[in-house]
A = this chain, B = another copy of it.
């Protein structure tokens, strides 16, 4: 079996020295809903969390645990967010980490915890206990593939990505899984995602690489502008690849590693956008020739979160005026009279004004399941890309009775 195929089959256990276990606790109506990722040797961990003021218990506990120098495991459940559950919720999250630590005979703080699901209800700890027992009892490399499924809530597809990079003659592997769908918005991890790598890298270098990767991937994806109480992106690096350790956030190896990590995160982020709740189309928004990255990102994010733009694309309607109006309310000062807008390769507006364009051709472009909007500012040299999805009736259907 080729390298690529093995990675595909193994997912987060493709990097050396990782095992996984999954279980069905019964928190979700169907399917597995608990997963554990385990590093056979002490790993270093880094993470980014939601910037929402309201932070779920597992986020608070993981933040605390992350201060520890080494980590061995990540335990996650779907079917319950354990958010807004007070002191008792915190105790539940801590107890979950303890259960896992007991099994692996490690410090509680070496275990990170993540949850996703409905806010405000306490977790059924009996079910969690059963799930942890089952998952830890069947640890294997093969189970790595099932982790992405166990994370799913309203996702329609599991999300996996992996990448190899050669660092000084050694092959280093990076693998990631994610769940997304609703409550996806820039300015934070905005979902659950876990990355494993066998790279030898210091904790601070890993944290720095992760931040850079997130800024050009998950922070450039928006489904509906809502951020969650539980967003967590955690990475573990265990050094099993035996590359020359990356000890600081600089140098050729660090750059190569960061690039590969960014690609894994970007791959996952695009899968998240494409599988947005109710989405039928992936929308890529390219803001070109902007004066600076901050303005470009602001405009891209405002277009990406405009319900009017997203419904127009859902309806294959070349309503470019909504794109320009969205940019106009982004808070960025720019010269409207220079802007050119393209749908795919079709120019629909120039010098801030509409053109007589071929509506048939526009329809053809907008009916595809991938649509690229290019907002060419023609007033600088910076380019930013953001991903989102169209807004369809199904988004409403999914979210109108999520709790039932």
A319 surroundings in chain B (CB, below 8 A):
118-119, 402-403
In the complex, A250 has a CB within 8 A of chain B = no
CB pair A403 B336 closer than 8 Å: no
Interface residues of A in 304-322 (CB under 8 A from B): 305-308, 311-312, 314-315, 317-322
CB pair B312 A399 closer than 8 Å: yes
CB pair B84 A402 closer than 8 Å: no
| Given A312-B399, A392-B396, A53 contacting B336 (CB threshold 8 A) | yes
Q: How far is the CA of A40 from the CA of B351 in the complex (A)?
A: 42
CB pair B182 A308 closer than 8 Å: yes
CB pair A324 B54 closer than 8 Å: yes
Interface residues of A (CB under 8 A from B): 51-55, 81, 83-86, 118-121, 182-183, 185, 224-229, 305-308, 311-312, 314-315, 317-322, 324-330, 332-334, 336-337, 349, 351-354, 391-393, 395-397, 399-404
CB pair A325 B229 closer than 8 Å: yes
CB pair A353 B321 closer than 8 Å: no
- 3 closest Cβ pairs, A-B complex: A119-B321, A315-B400, A54-B328
Chain B residue with the shortest CB-CB distance to A328:
B54
List 7 extra interface pairs beyond A83-B321, A119-B321, A229-B324, CB under 8 A: A53-B328, A53-B333, A55-B328, A224-B307, A228-B325, A311-B400, A314-B396
CB pair B183 A308 closer than 8 Å: yes
Query: In the complex, which of the residues B51, B330, B396 contacts A396, with contact meaning CB atoms closer than 8 Å?
Result: B396
| Given A321-B119, A329-B51, A308 contacting B226 (CB threshold 8 A) | yes
CB pair A307 B225 closer than 8 Å: yes
A402 to chain B, nearest CB (A): 6
CB pair A353 B120 closer than 8 Å: yes
A224 surroundings in chain B (CB, below 8 A):
307-308
A225 surroundings in chain B (CB, below 8 A):
225, 305-307
